[in-house]
Amino acid sequence: MTSRTALALMIVMWSVSTTRAEPPTTLDISTAEELQRAFSKPVTSLHVRLTAGEYDLTPVPYTDPMCGNCPDPDTRVETSTGLHIRGADMVVIEGPRTGEAKIITNAGYGILIEDCTLAVLTRITVTGGQRSSDSNATDGAIVVRNSEVHIASSEIRDNLGHPQVVRETVAGIAGIVGREGSDMRIGSNRIIRNSWDGIALYRDAKAEIADNLIDGVDSATGETIGGGRGVGIGITWNAQATVRNNLVTRYWKGIGIFVDAQAIVEGNVIEDILTWGIALWGAGDGEPRGDIRSNVIYKTGACGVSIAATTEREDAGELRSNLIMQAAQNSAYDSPEYFCAQCALAISSQPEHFVIRDNVFHDNRRASDDLPDHDDEAAFMRAVQRECERWQAHRVLRESQFVETMCDGDDLCE
């Protein structure tokens, strides 16, 4: 956990414990049966301390009254839950300081949090989700609706689902899903090898996403079932997010701002991506807004950045001071009909007031000579040298291939 995230979580825990007339009930739990029993009905205030071990949950059928990613949100969806936390003033689920509390959900909505004033999940592992056969289900290891939720220092991994069900539904199981009315702080987690988006935000969702590793591991796509089949971080419909200092790797797509979403995307490393690195996409009639600053995009199959949006708003956002290297490497995507023009920076439609400046490029591929070539190796290396110290000091970013190659290998930080 970074010092900033740790401090934020300590402040949350302290404020919760001191502002209530009575402290929350504390339960020390060591079995799956105890854990599910604790949340078998709505709770008021509860602090759960898990001992190290496995919590193999029994899934319960669940009818979602709304669809998170349908054109008509009033579409009922059938799925299942492993742990359903609802109606609480405050809930804390805390794993041990040593050892692992592994929650095997066996469900589509692994941990579903609804109508909670505040919920805190920390030091837990959430795994073993099972994909619902309803293709409209926004299945995820953790799904949040109408709640403020803090998720920190946890692992969300290996939520894959049955291969045949995933093939039939196309969508797999996401790591964290923000639904209607969710307001999340997602910090210092390892979101690894899940079969759909690492983090997905849908209608009326908000999130601060910082200092996380989001790794698909398998770079799976199409008929291949495994981790990384979606978008590393997807912000869609009218969701809002601040996305800072995350490492997104081995995914089908990197970070997407879609339809009417608004996002600040700053200081992230996006690398080893099958298609595009960052996309601002209006889906025809949407008006997304993105402040996309100081990110690294390294090794993409399709374009590095795709801008495909229109808006008349004067604060349309910007693409500034990003570093793009080895984009557009897969000739199978040379046709712009697939994703974007096959080059480092693909602009199919740029809002009038969207500012593009101070981005630097190196060793990128173009499908044809008529596409733009922004490469400037000297400027790129100067930009890398300025940032190496920051990247290497960051607990997550220093794990990236790019930082290891460009800072350690070339001794640019000395």
Ramachandran quadrant class, 285 (left: phi over 0; alpha: psi -120 to 50; beta: rest): alpha
Can you tell me the distance from the alpha carbon of 78 to that of 335, in angstroms, rounded to the nearest whole number? 38
Is 175 domain-assigned?
yes
pLDDT tens per residue, range 35-92? 999 999 999 999 999 999 999 999 999 999 999 999 999 999 999 999 999 999 999 9
- In the predicted model, what is the mean pLDDT of residues 384-406? 97
Q: What is the pLDDT of residue 254?
A: 98
Q: What is the pLDDT of residue 408?
A: 79
- Taking Cα atoms as reference points, which of 307, 290, 394, 379 lies closest to residue 345? 307
Is 329 domain-assigned?
no
pLDDT tens per residue, range 149-177? 999 999 999 999 999 999 999 999 999 99
Residue 165 has which token pair?
């069900």
Whole-number percent of the chain with pLDDT over 90: 90
Residue 2 has pLDDT above 50, yes or no: no
Residue 410 has pLDDT above 70, yes or no: no
Q: What is the pLDDT of residue 264?
A: 98
Residues sharing a CB contact under 8 Å with residue 378, sequence separation 6 or more, in sequence order: none
Residue 364 has pLDDT above 60, yes or no: yes
Q: What is the pLDDT of residue 57?
A: 98
- Taking Cα atoms as reference points, which of 323, 242, 339, 325 lies closest to residue 281? 339
- Lowest mean pLDDT: which of 7-21, 248-262, 268-282, 354-368? 7-21
pLDDT tens per residue, range 261-316? 999 999 999 999 999 999 999 999 999 999 999 999 999 999 999 999 998 888 99
Question: Residue-wise over 175-202: b if at least 16 C-beta within 10 A, else e?
Answer: bbbbbbbbbbbbbbbbbbbbbbbbbbbb
Is 243 domain-assigned?
yes
- In the predicted model, what is the mean pLDDT of residues 1-15? 49
Q: What is the pLDDT of residue 413?
A: 42
SS3 category, 168: helix
Mean per-residue pLDDT over the chain, rounded: 93
Is 84 domain-assigned?
yes
Give the confidence band of 22 by pLDDT, cuts at 50, 70, 90. Answer: low
Whole-number percent of the chain with pLDDT over 70: 93
Report how many domains make up the chain: 1
C-beta of residue 167 within 8 angstroms of C-beta of residue 225: yes
Q: What is the pLDDT of residue 24?
A: 80
Is 392 domain-assigned?
no
Q: What is the pLDDT of residue 198?
A: 98
Is 193 domain-assigned?
yes
- In the predicted model, what is the mean pLDDT of residues 99-110? 98
Is 382 domain-assigned?
no
State which residues form the domain around 138.
3-251
Give the confidence band of 1 by pLDDT, cuts at 50, 70, 90. Answer: very low
Is 210 domain-assigned?
yes
Give the confidence band of 414 by pLDDT, cuts at 50, 70, 90. Answer: very low
